[in-house]
Amino acid sequence: MHFISWNIDSINAAIEHKSARGEMTWDVLQNIAAQQPDVFAIQETKLKATGLTKKQATVLADLFPDYQIYVNASDARSGYSGTMILTRLTPLAVTYPTIGAPGEMDLEGRIITLEFEDFFVSTVYTPNSGSALARLADRGAWDDAYRAYISSLDAQKPVIFSGDMNVAHQEIDLKNPKTNHKSAGFTDQEREKFTALLSAGFTDTMRAQNPDTPGIYTWWAQISKTSKINNSGWRIDYYLVSDRIADKVTETAVIDTGLRQDHAPISLKMAF
């Protein structure tokens, strides 16, 4: 089975592709469609609260024929956050869970979960701690609530889950660790919470397959014109699986996006 996950940073920007960046995003989306993954998870869709427009739905249906599309748009703020899953496999059930997160986080369309016969597939867009770490306390509460939620799924059947988790777990997961210990996404608290998630019974598939390989990143800051050229990035997008199915992983990869900065898609293949 083939899974792909991507923080697209606006479905509409990709579909309209009226800018140079939009063209690059559209090219990546077409590349993913050509690979025909069994399940394609998207974060930061930035859809309106009403979901896909008619044009967006038509373009996606043309690009991904025979896929079922599930959308969780933000009700808290239209055009913000949001997740989506496209699947060639028919799920037994689809849920858009609330996890008891602080503030409006549960209203921001951050999780979708599909249940299949032998496993769950879920995607998440983890809240960012924000500039000056203004949301760090709330982020910590989110991490605890999310870990409890994923663990509740794992108690029923194995879980394959992905997304922009907004944390670089170890120093190997970003280019400049020494200068980022107080930056959102690399604070001690966020890293400890991710360790706790793994300790709850889950495997970081990319790192499991590449335990000592540096320079594997999934995000490069747009604010720096040379971040992608110099591979000055962070690995903050993940595929995690229940420990008991980790031996089913056959391949992990970061999908090449050329000169496009921001997030790159990640790929997971498993043999069931």
Residues marked active site are found at: 125, 164, 263
Question: Residue 80: CA atoms inside 13 Å, Cβ hemisphere, count?
Answer: 13
User: Is 164 a known ligand-binding residue?
Assistant: yes
For residue 207, how many other CB atoms are within 10 A of its CB? 19
Quote the CA–CA distance of 34 and 54 in Å, as a whole number: 23
Quote the CA–CA distance of 250 and 202 in Å, as a whole number: 16
182 burial class (0-12, 13-18, 19+ CB within 10 angstroms)? exposed
Quote the CA–CA distance of 36 and 79 in Å, as a whole number: 27
Closest residue by Cα to residue 200 from 253, 234, 167, 161? 161
User: Is 23 a known ligand-binding residue?
Assistant: no
Q: What are residue 203's DSSP bridge partners?
A: 241
For residue 262, how many other CB atoms are within 10 A of its CB? 19
Rg for the chain, CA atoms, rounded? 17
Contact 238, 210 (CB under 8 A): no
240 sits in which H/E element: strand 237-242
User: Is 166 a known ligand-binding residue?
Assistant: yes
In 3-state terms, the chain is what percent helix, strand and coil (to 5)?
30, 25, 45
Binding site membership for Mg(2+): which residues?
Answer: 7, 44, 164, 166, 262-263
